[in-house]
Amino acid sequence: MQENQIIIFRPDDETYNVLMRRAVEYAILSVPFTVNRMSIDNLAQRIENIAKGKLAEYLFLEYCEENGINIDTKECTTPFYQVDKRDFLFSNFECDIKNNYFWDNKLHSSVKKLIIKFPALIPNRHRDDQWDKRTKSYFNRKVMFVFTFMQAGYLVDGNRQGGVVEVILSKEQGECLKRLIKHYNGCPIEKEPYTPDSFWGEFGQLKFTIRNISPLYITAYATQEHFNIFLDIGGKDVSTNYQNHPFLNWYDRTRTGAKFLDGSIFTKIKNAACPIMLLPSFRELLDKLGYPRDEAF
């Protein structure tokens, strides 16, 4: 893909706030049934991470709705106590959104010039991780990954400033969630444990602060035609795949993971990865399917 094919979607503030609230609500409801893959001790931070991923998904779906792009989420949607199989169905594809948050160092003449150098990352820590799902069809369709990005804040002298959302838990709310986490142990279940209404009746008022409002940058996609160019990057033993091609010093190898573009994106885990510029753009796919250009493009 090329720089001028990046789609920038920025809804109005009211819509953004509604979607953020939905994302935080989902994160709080689902955290007792979600594995703590990153081993995060801070409960509020765990909730914030889930909410950040959900926000990107909701923004993408909102973009599609506002622009008449025919996607289906009904078959993919599962309740808060179960794991989603896919994020949405589109054409003859079953699709997952892979979003990463980045930190801009303000040295680039435009955000697009930074984004076009970003990696497409799919977690590949072990068997049955998200990369392994490329070989599994849940809906008898081809598998597609769509890569999006959002800005979390800025890098100032190598330090991150900003953030996406801050979730505020009272002592009682924290204890309520910890009891549920201990009981369900981060494992999805088949039968509804309680209704959302009964949960919120006990939990009380939801409190959070939006720290940064970022557009959603919709970039490339990958299907089975492109999976062969994904190579492992990151983890404790950082590889050298793509390290100097197509960009010189694309990422630094550190003891704790791979640091892309001087820290704009950092990953502690092993991912199947490739530069998004080597993949076709999502806008290109929309063109092929006959969707009109939109103002956000």
Asked whether residue 154 is assigned to any structural domain, the reply reads yes
Asked whether residue 85 is assigned to any structural domain, the reply reads yes
Asked whether residue 293 is assigned to any structural domain, the reply reads no
Average pLDDT, consecutive stretches of 10 residues, N- to C-terminus, the chain (297 residues)? 96 96 97 82 94 97 95 91 93 96 80 94 91 93 97 88 95 96 93 95 95 95 97 87 91 91 92 97 95 69
- Give the pLDDT score at 40: 78
Q: What domain count does the chain have?
A: 1
Asked whether residue 132 is assigned to any structural domain, the reply reads yes
Q: Where are the beta strands (DSSP E) in 185-257?
A: 208-210, 216-222, 231-234, 251-253
- Give the pLDDT score at 39: 72
- Give the pLDDT score at 221: 98
- Give the pLDDT score at 295: 57
User: Is the CB of residue 149 less than 8 Å from the CB of residue 114?
Assistant: no
Which residue range(s) make up the domain with 182?
3-288
DSSP letter for each residue of 36-53: -TT----HHHHHHHHHHH
Asked whether residue 198 is assigned to any structural domain, the reply reads yes
